[in-house]
Amino acid sequence: MKKVFISTSIPYVNAAPHLGHALEFVQADAIARRHRSLGDEVFFLSGSDENSLKNVQSAEKLGMPVKDLVDKNCQKFFDLKEVLKLTFDDFIRTTEERHFKGAQKLWKVCEKDIYKKKYSGLYCVGCEEFYKEDELVDGLCPEHKTKPELIEEENYFFKLSNYQDKLQKLIESDEIKILPESRKNEVLSFIKSGLQDFCISRSSERAKGWGIDVPDDPTQKLWVWFDALSNYINALGYGSNDESKFNEFWQNNEFKLHVIGKGIIRFHAVYWPAMLLSAGISLPKTLFVHGYVTADNQKMSKSIGNVVDPIELVNKYGCDGVRYFLLREIPALGDGDFTYEKFEKRYNSDLASGLGNLFSRTIAMIEKAGLSNDFEIQPNQQFIDEVEAIKEKINNRYVYFNETLSNVWELVSFCDKYIEDEKPWEINELMMQKRIFSNLIYSLKNISGMILPLLPETSEKMRKQLGEKDGKFNIKKGESLFPRI
């Protein structure tokens, strides 16, 4: 048993959540559930980023107070906990007092690396980041394809250049491990190009008075990323009167994992570790960097009108139908595409006609044979070996969720072929039927355990219908796992 800290990034709440947010939440939840199933003590954190200038501008467009906007949209993000069956232990809002205290304390302990200067730069509000001219693509932000705004101000800067060599060594040596390798190389390339000090405040005037005051200088607000990144430790009590959880799950813990999207890797792999080094605080250990969910091969965008609402999707197809698509169809560390046609094809082939059909027909055959009560299983060696082989594959690469589910479905196909080869409906001898059903129940029991972190509702339905107690199975047919659509 070990202590495990797992976090999602905290999304801007200038709008409602979309399917890309759901991907990150479900991936992080699957990792958290997996560690709990292994007996680890997990602290799983999510939250909302509410101090962004994006939120201010969105509220202005809607003609409503910023607080009302962030309260409304924050609730929609929090509601995903029930909708997607997420198991985060805490949800921190960056407008909470505990976050203000932690962010301001972090600033104070980093003050040796903070200075003030006048400057001008190209700022993308979407990224909440300054860009150099040569980082733009045709004069536009590479992430949002919008023209950055020229900002001229006097603000505070952080001496990132002080930490270039240290950061390079940490990442090259995998002391901070970045998955996949391609993202690690991307970060190293950025570091080797020469790190420049970065701006960590904005004028209160430009921020419209929204955000966290710079300590001892109310004319300035903390830059949203300096503020937001500290959420990971603030939720653990950093800056409070009781920092025991911070010491337990962060300072003295070797397993700290951030699940983030590829668009914010620079903040988590460069700026965040540098801030922690300056503050003398322990570093994260692993960055799990996923890609994007596109919609019909286009990035989801409100302006295009192709944003997919995960709540509507769950209402139509069920929680585990959505979780399965996100974890099976979208590469764990890459981009993947969503269309309703792809979703329904995957749902019907893998879930309704795959696991769902295998489970329902097995239970129906057992009930028809009159073997559903106090059924004791004695699987043969072939099935034991097959199950153990699948478990070994899964254990070695569990966080590659698409591969894991593909491995589990190998066992589903193995059982389907076994049924077709053995044809238990043509067998009259009870002992022969028992042998066949014993192998199938053994497989389904293990499938239920394998998919628990990924498809928790389905796993629970299977467990209840199998009715295992004291080594015997009292099988009772229940609702269909996945009705065909």
Token code pair at residue 466: 């199998």
| DSSP line for 460-478 | HHHHHHHTEETTEE-----
Which one is catalytic: 35, 74, 105, 127? Answer: 127
DSSP class per residue in 406-437: HHHHHHHHHHHHHHHHH-GGG---HHHHHHHH
Q: Specify whether 18 is catalytic.
A: yes
Cis geometry, peptide bond prior to residue 180 (ω within 30 degrees of 0):
yes
The residue type found at 39 is: G
End-to-end CA distance of the chain: 42
List the catalytic residue out of 74, 110, 141, 415. Answer: 141
Q: Does 144 qualify as catalytic in the annotation?
A: yes
Q: In terms of Cα–Cα distance, which of 419, 420, 412 is closest to 450? A: 412
Determine whether 268 is an active site residue: no
From 302, 345, 417, 476, the catalytic residue:
302
Q: Is 127 a catalytic residue?
A: yes
Amino acid at 164: Q
Residue among 265, 258, 208, 185 nearest 8 (CA): 258
Q: Which of 161, 162, 181 is nearest to 171 (CA)?
A: 181
| Secondary structure, 3-state, 191-246 | HHCCCCCEECEEECCCCCCCCCEECCEEEEEECHHHHHHCHHHHCCCCCCCCCHHH
Is 299 one of the catalytic residues?
Answer: yes
- The 8-class DSSP code of residue 16 comes to -
Considering 76, 81, 299, 393, which one is annotated as catalytic? 299
Evaluated on CA atoms 101, 11, 70, 78, the torsion sign reads negative
CA-angle at 360, arms to 355 and 361, nearest 5°? 100
- The Cα–Cα gap between 94 and 167 comes to 27
Which pair of tokens denotes residue 360?
């329902």
- Considering the candidates 144, 177, 208, 393, report the single residue annotated as catalytic: 144
Active site residue 110: no
- Contact yes or no for 287/178 (Cβ under 8 A): yes
Query: Two tokens at 333?
Result: 């560390």
Residues with catalytic roles = 18, 21, 124, 127, 141, 144, 299, 302
